[in-house]
Amino acid sequence: MSDKKTAIVTGGSRGIGRAICLRLAKEGINLVINYAGNHEAAQDTKTACEQLGASVVLVQGDVSRAEDCEALFSAAAERFGRVDIVVNNAGITRDNLIIRMSEEDFDRVIEVNLKGVWNMLKLAARAMMKQRYGRIINLTSVVGVTGNAGQSNYAASKAGVIGMTKSLARELASRGVTVNAVAPGYIDTDMTASLSDEVKAMVKNNIPMGRTGRAEEVAALVGFLAGDQAGYITGQVVHVDGGMVM
């Protein structure tokens, strides 16, 4: 068991999730990192975090399955003795115009992005209420506020995360547990790298700051919300979007 704080990060192997893990490791926090399938990327993130001084446990799993979420908390309890921080970052997209979107694509995005967060929140609330301390940070999206053509399923899931964040913040506030959401805009990741130059230019035209964001800029906010200085901030949705939503 360690005296350091312990964080569970879902979808932590790549992109924003990886940046969050590295940021928390720099803050001296031990990690239980969930990943869906890319073991090589997860192992690379684990090694990078360990080089920063963190102890790391990797747990493969699908957050839409309650038993896989329970395995994360069991791993944290066994290795570190407690869970202080939960970052719900795991998410998927299955984009299409609604008239072409299959029921399967709608259901799967809701299962992972919304039900998966609910699974994690239920377990986090149980653990953190007992210890009367905790930091929960849910990754939503600018799309959950503005909507986006071709992403009705994704937008619905991310809007739902905002509603759950505010509801749970009210339930846990008296127990010393904060619950906040971080809403990234267009962030440079593997997903956005595959966009055409034309689409990238169109995206930048919609961003007042005229550039896409970096995963490290999202992670910096998550690191702050996970810390003791953010103890009087709860139920908030903070945008990291270059001014897209004001």
Estimate the crossing angle of helix 215-225 against helix 15-26, to 10 degrees. 50
Within-domain flag for 112: yes
Alpha-carbon gap, residue 63 to 160, rounded angstroms = 16
Within-domain flag for 1: no
Residue in 35, 133, 154, 186 annotated catalytic: 154
Categorize the per-residue pLDDT at 199 as very low, low, confident or very high, splitting at 50, 70 and 90: confident
Within-domain flag for 246: no
> Is 73:6 a contact under the CB 8 Å cutoff?
no
pLDDT exceeds cutoff 70 at 178: yes
Q: Which strand (E) or helix (H) includes residue 39?
A: helix 39-51
What average pLDDT does the segment 157-161 reach?
A: 98
What are 124-155's pLDDT values in tens digits?
999 999 999 999 999 999 999 999 999 999 99
- Average pLDDT of the chain, as a whole number: 95
What per-residue confidence (pLDDT) applies to 67?
A: 98
What are 102-129's pLDDT values in tens digits?
999 999 999 999 999 999 999 999 999 9
Within-domain flag for 49: yes
What average pLDDT does the segment 149-173 reach?
A: 97
DSSP 193-237: HTS-HHHHHHHHHT-TTSS-EEHHHHHHHHHHHTSGGGTT--S-E
**Among 95-104, 178-187, 199-208, 210-219, whose mean pLDDT is lowest?**
199-208
The pair of structure tokens assigned to 173 is 């506030």
The three-class DSSP label of residue 60 is: strand
The candidate with the shortest Cα–Cα distance to 22, out of 44, 1, 38, is: 44
The candidate with the shortest Cα–Cα distance to 9, out of 178, 215, 163, 219, is: 219
What are 209-242's pLDDT values in tens digits?
999 999 999 999 999 999 999 999 999 999 999 9
Within-domain flag for 74: yes
154 a catalytic residue = yes
> Is 244:142 a contact under the CB 8 Å cutoff?
yes
Within-domain flag for 224: yes
CATH number at residue 205: 3.40.50.720
Instruction: Name the DSSP letter for residue 174.
Output: G
Overall pTM surpassing 0.75 (yes/no): yes
pLDDT exceeds cutoff 70 at 2: no
What average pLDDT does the segment 159-184 reach?
A: 98
Instruction: Name the DSSP letter for residue 157.
Output: H
What per-residue confidence (pLDDT) applies to 202?
A: 83
Cβ neighbours around 188 below 10 Å, total: 17
**Among 1-10, 49-58, 132-141, 161-170, whose mean pLDDT is lowest?**
1-10
pLDDT exceeds cutoff 60 at 1: no
What per-residue confidence (pLDDT) applies to 191?
A: 66
> Is 126:171 a contact under the CB 8 Å cutoff?
no
Instruction: Note down the domain range covering 159.
Output: 6-240
Within-domain flag for 168: yes
> Is 182:139 a contact under the CB 8 Å cutoff?
yes
Number of domains in the chain: 1
Q: What is the dihedral of CA 48, 52, 53, 57, to 10 degrees?
A: -30
